[in-house]
């Protein structure tokens, strides 16, 4: 898919104030600093559309971006950000949960996982919860430029083993890098296929 336009639409704390649910939407979630905002920029080939930072906790709102005037990318705050206060963490959690549970045009959630680390319980528990709530998701491994192909294969295998303890089927998986564009065209193709199937009358 060719990206012809990518524009920031609105930032919210309340899902009810998000844009009308008339277009297909894909949201990015994962721990703080995993590379959500960077991946959004890589997908649309813009440097600073979504705000990135070396420090965790940069994205603090539900941010909508409209792509090719026909679908949305949504940048979400990270979960498990240790340096923020407990009250703040609970507030983020509630904001994200309400968005995920109520957003009718959310086609797929991209759960980002840093490929350098072994499977972490916070991510496994999050995906388990998505399964219970029947929120469709895929796994996106980030920062693949930082480790060797051997290490990548090893960590993917560990993830698959862990996931198969909870799941009968494995979700789709993408290995990406916002640095060298690895996996970017595959994600765009995935989105394009779902966009073609989207029928707004079915969600009203």
Give the angle 26-32-36 at the CA atoms, nearest 5°. 30
When the beta carbons of 58 and 103 are compared against Mg ion, the nearer one is 58
The entry of Mg ion, ligand GTP, none that residue 149 binds, CB within 5 to 8 Å by partner kind: none
Of the residues 19, 56, 80, 131, which one makes contact with ligand GTP according to CB under 6 A:
56
When the beta carbons of 37 and 155 are compared against Mg ion, the nearer one is 37
Name the H helices within 2-61.
36-44
Of the residues 6, 26, 27, 37, which one makes contact with Mg ion according to CB under 5 A:
37
Of the residues 6, 23, 25, 59, which one makes contact with ligand GTP according to CB under 6 A:
59
Q: Whole-angstrom Cα distance, residue 167 to residue 173? A: 14
Q: C-beta of 76: minimal distance to Mg ion in Å? A: 8
The entry of Mg ion, ligand GTP, none that residue 177 binds, CB within 5 to 8 Å by partner kind: ligand GTP
Q: Whole-angstrom Cα distance, residue 83 to residue 33? A: 12
Q: Which stretch binds ligand GTP (CB under 6 A): 15-23, 31-39, 117-125, 164-172?
A: 31-39
Does residue 59 interact with Mg ion by CB under 5 A?
A: yes
Reported for 158-167, long-range contacts at CB under 8 A and 24+ positions apart, including other chains, are: 158/118, 158/119, 159/113, 159/119, 162/119, 162/124, 163/124, 163/127, 163/139, 166/124, 166/127, 166/128, 166/131, 167/131
What is the pattern of x (binds ligand GTP, CB under 6 A) and - over residues 120-159? Answer: ----------------------xx-xx-------------
Does residue 177 interact with ligand GTP by CB under 6 A?
A: yes
Contacts of 72 (CB under 8 A, 6+ apart): 9, 19, 23, 24, 25, 26, 64, 65, 66, 105
Rounded to a whole number of angstroms, the distance between the first and last alpha carbons of the chain is: 27
The entry of ligand GTP, Mg ion, none that residue 23 binds, CB within 5 to 8 Å by partner kind: none
Contacts of 161 (CB under 8 A, 6+ apart): none
Residues at the interface with ligand GTP (CB under 6 A): 32-38, 52-54, 56-59, 77-78, 142-143, 145-146, 177-179
Residues at the interface with Mg ion (CB under 5 A): 36-37, 58-59
């Amino acid at each position: 898919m060719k990206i012809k336009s990518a524009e920031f639409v609105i930032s919210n704390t309340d899902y009810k104030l998000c844009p009308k649910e008339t277009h297909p939407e894909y949201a990015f979630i994962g721990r703080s600093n995993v590379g959500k905002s960077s991946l959004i920029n890589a997908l649309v080939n813009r440097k600073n559309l979504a705000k990135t930072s070396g420090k965790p906790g940069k994205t603090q709102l539900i941010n909508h971006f409209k792509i090719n005037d026909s679908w949305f990318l949504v940048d979400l705050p990270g979960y498990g950000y240790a340096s923020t206060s407990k009250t703040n963490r609970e507030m983020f959690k509630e904001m994200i949960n309400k968005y995920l549970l109520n957003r009718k045009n959310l086609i797929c959630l991209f759960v980002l996982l840093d490929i350098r680390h072994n499977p972490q319980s916070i991510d496994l528990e999050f995906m388990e919860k998505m399964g219970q709530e029947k929120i469709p998701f895929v796994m996106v491994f980030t920062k693949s430029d930082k480790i060797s192909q051997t290490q990548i294969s090893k960590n993917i295998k560990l993830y698959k083993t862990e996931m198969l303890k909870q799941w009968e089927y494995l979700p789709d998986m993408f290995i990406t890098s916002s640095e060298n564009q690895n996996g970017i065209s595959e994600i765009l193709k995935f989105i394009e296929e779902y966009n073609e199937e989207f029928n707004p009358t079915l969600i009203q």
